[in-house]
């Protein structure tokens, strides 16, 4: 009986993956940016998984309206942070170059990890 793990990656066949995480306050900007990234990656011949919408982070703030009295009168504000996650499997050199040259809107935070 063999003692090797069938799920373990083969020695010469390690697959590389780029994980991209987008964050923005405006969901339209983040969806537009995700489409640009997917189109760019597919044009260069890479396989794209996603974009996967992650849970929206909501921060709520209660502020007193009056500087002195009227504790029951408050304003409520919230900040919504939308997130998307996508993986690019087996990226080529062209894919990496195209992603580096990509111009995304200023309101989108991009995190790129190589795995």
Q: Quickly count: other Cβ atoms within 10 Å of residue 88's Cβ.
A: 26
Whether 7 is in a domain gets the answer no
Here the CATH number for the domain that contains residue 93 is: 3.30.70.600
Kindly state the helix (H) or strand (E) to which residue 84 belongs, with its residue range: strand 74-89
pTM of the model: 0.79
115 or 4: whose pLDDT is higher?
A: 115
CA 22 to chain centre: 3
Which pLDDT does position 1 carry in this prediction?
52
Nearest-angstrom CA–CA distance, 112 and 115: 10
Whether 10 is in a domain gets the answer no
Kindly state the helix (H) or strand (E) to which residue 27 belongs, with its residue range: helix 27-43
- Note down the domain range covering 109: 17-66+74-114
What's the pLDDT band for 37 if we cut at 50, 70, 90?
very high
47-71, pLDDT tens digit by residue? Answer: 999 899 999 999 999 999 999 888 8
Using the predicted structure, report yes or no on whether residue 10 has a pLDDT greater than 60.
no
Calculate the average pLDDT of the chain: 89
């Amino acid at each position: 009986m063999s003692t090797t793990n069938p799920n373990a990656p083969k020695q010469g066949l390690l697959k590389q993956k780029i994980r991209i995480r987008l964050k923005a306050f405006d969901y339209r900007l983040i969806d537009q940016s995700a489409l640009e990234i997917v189109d760019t990656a597919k044009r260069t011949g890479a396989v794209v998984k996603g974009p996967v919408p992650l849970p929206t982070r909501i921060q709520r703030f209660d502020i007193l309206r009056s500087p002195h009295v009227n504790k029951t009168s408050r304003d409520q504000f919230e900040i919504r942070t939308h997130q998307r996650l996508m993986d690019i499997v087996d990226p080529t050199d062209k894919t990496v170059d195209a992603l580096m040259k990509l111009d995304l809107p200023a309101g989108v935070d991009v995190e790129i990890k190589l795995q």
